[in-house]
Amino acid sequence: MTAVLHNVIVYWGVAVVIVLATAAWQADRYGLDSWSMYLAGLLGFGGALLLGGEYATLLVSSAHMHEDSLGRGAVGALFGATLGAWGVLKMRGVPFLSYADAAAPAVALGYAVYRIGCVLNGCCFGIETDLPWAVTFGADSEAFAAQVAVGLIVQDALHTLPVHPTQLYHALLGVVIFLVLLRMRIDVHGKRFAVALILYGAGRFVIEFFRGDAIPILGPLDANHFAALVMLVIGIVLWRFRTGFVAAIDWTLTT
């Protein structure tokens, strides 16, 4: 049972089920085709596995990765899922932004669940801290291997030094995004998707400063910082384009 609970693949599976179920519920709620949503979700997860694994190898030193870490790069997975879903929806001739709006809360909730698996697996760990909510990880975790590799602890230590529980920061970000998006009224297609990109991009950019497992590529910034900025910019542009476009139509109709 302990091995199952600490297997990140289990949380991948739970997250997949939650995303598909919640996305289908949102599709029904907004009069969208549930089958198209299911197909987009399945192909999206295929893209997530493909790009998530490739992206993870660019972010984390191989000395810090376990075998079950492959396919776990969250930002790459999100990009891969978006591309996979877009391809399916494009082939079915349905509007991507409408389905993205409906799926966004589901993805945020699944992301939060998946990050709980990261806590138990000891991956995606934070930098050392003496804050009251700091956590430690055992000798079978990536956090332990990373601290041994840089000389912070010895090989026969019982656990790591206290670190930021960045996995919980990520999970909390997912829950917050989920709740915010659920309360949004979809009056403009793409608006909720834009808010999801903005909130995740901004939140991920901040959390990344507390991560202890990434490889800086420019000063203190790593690849996830730049990916988060890209998502933030895309979200802001999409928000401005969609809300500005609708405002322009309203102005034209009333003059």
pLDDT band at 36; cut points 50, 70, 90: very high
Q: How many other C-beta atoms lie within 10 A of the C-beta of residue 83?
A: 16
User: Within a 10 A sphere around the Cβ of 63, how many other Cβ atoms?
Assistant: 11
Domain boundaries, the chain: 2-188
Q: Which residue type, as a one-letter code, is found at position 8? A: V
Cβ atoms of 143 and 163 within 8 Å: the answer is yes
Angle between helices 96-121 and 191-207 (to 10 degrees): 30
Model confidence band, residue 52 (pLDDT cutoffs 50, 70, 90)? low
Residue 56 and residue 222 in contact, taking contact as beta carbons nearer than 8 Å: no
Ranking 16-30, 33-47, 197-211, 236-250 by mean pLDDT, the lowest is 236-250
